[in-house]
């Protein structure tokens, strides 16, 4: 009987240890930002879209199969509703070379395209993402009418986490004519360079 109790205690302790380690790994993954390359401080001449002349221009880069980008799209919808119509928005969905014709046509694409005023594009081979320094899904860059970079980074507080966050708040402030000291935030999502981490 004593031997059985000892074995039960060891099994329970091992189980709790495994759960603790798993939780720590998941928490670390959710809180680890993705990579960002150099974002041009002026609107890049290689951009396939034109800079808006009468309002700010926001570009977002997304992986169409990244589950954590859903939170970024939801935040985009919320911040645009609070931006007083002062932001022209373009979302580029990665389309790898040699991928099937409908590879980008996911539920995430359809949800994004349904947001009023959002222009959705395919980013063939990730060329536009590279042009703006985007390496992680959910990355945004905001430019003023003169082509000056105002903000870059993510608009969620972690992978797949919606809700109030510094990035979205900074963009809302800028769109409403206020100043903000925050010019960059971490971005959380799947890689736009390698494969999507599901």
pLDDT digits (tens, 9 = 90+) for 28-67: 444 566 656 689 999 999 999 999 999 999 999 999 999 9
Q: String of b and e for 93-116 (b: at least 16 CB within 10 Å)?
A: bbbeeeeeeebbebebbeebeebe
Residues 24 and 99 in one domain: no
The residues near 10 (Cβ < 8 Å, ≥ 6 apart) are: none
Residues 89 and 141 in one domain: yes
Residues 74 and 142 in one domain: yes
| Stated pTM of the model | 0.81
- The CA distance from 193 to 39, in Å, is 16
Task: Give backbone dihedrals phi and psi of 143, rounded to 5 degrees, phi first.
Answer: -120, 145
Structural domain including 23 reads: 1-30
How is residue 36 annotated by DSSP? B
Asked whether residue 181 is assigned to any structural domain, the reply reads: no
At residue 47's C-alpha, the angle toward residues 50 and 38, to 5°, is: 130
pLDDT digits (tens, 9 = 90+) for 127-175: 999 999 999 999 999 999 999 999 999 999 876 657 789 999 999 999 9
Asked whether residue 171 is assigned to any structural domain, the reply reads: yes
Residues 100 and 8 in one domain: no
Overall domain count for the chain: 2
């Amino acid at each position: 009987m004593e031997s059985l109790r000892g074995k039960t205690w060891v099994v329970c302790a091992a189980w709790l240890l495994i759960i603790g380690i798993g939780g720590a790994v998941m928490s670390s993954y959710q809180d680890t930002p993705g990579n960002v390359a150099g974002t041009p401080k002026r609107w890049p001449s290689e951009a396939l879209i034109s800079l808006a002349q009468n309002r700010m221009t926001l570009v977002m880069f997304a992986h169409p199969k990244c589950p954590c980008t859903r939170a970024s799209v939801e935040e985009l919808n919320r911040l645009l509703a609070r931006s007083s119509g002062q932001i022209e928005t373009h979302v580029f969905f990665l389309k790898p070379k040699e991928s099937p014709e409908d590879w980008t046509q996911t539920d995430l694409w359809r949800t994004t395209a349904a947001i009023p005023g959002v222009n959705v594009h395919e980013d063939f081979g990730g060329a536009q993402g590279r042009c703006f320094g985007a390496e992680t899904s959910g990355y945004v860059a905001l430019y003023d009418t003169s082509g000056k970079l105002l903000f870059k980074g993510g608009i969620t507080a972690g992978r797949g986490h919606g809700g109030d966050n510094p990035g979205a708040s900074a963009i809302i402030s800028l769109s409403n004519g206020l100043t903000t000291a925050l010019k960059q935030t971490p971005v959380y999502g799947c890689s736009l360079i390698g494969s999507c981490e599901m």
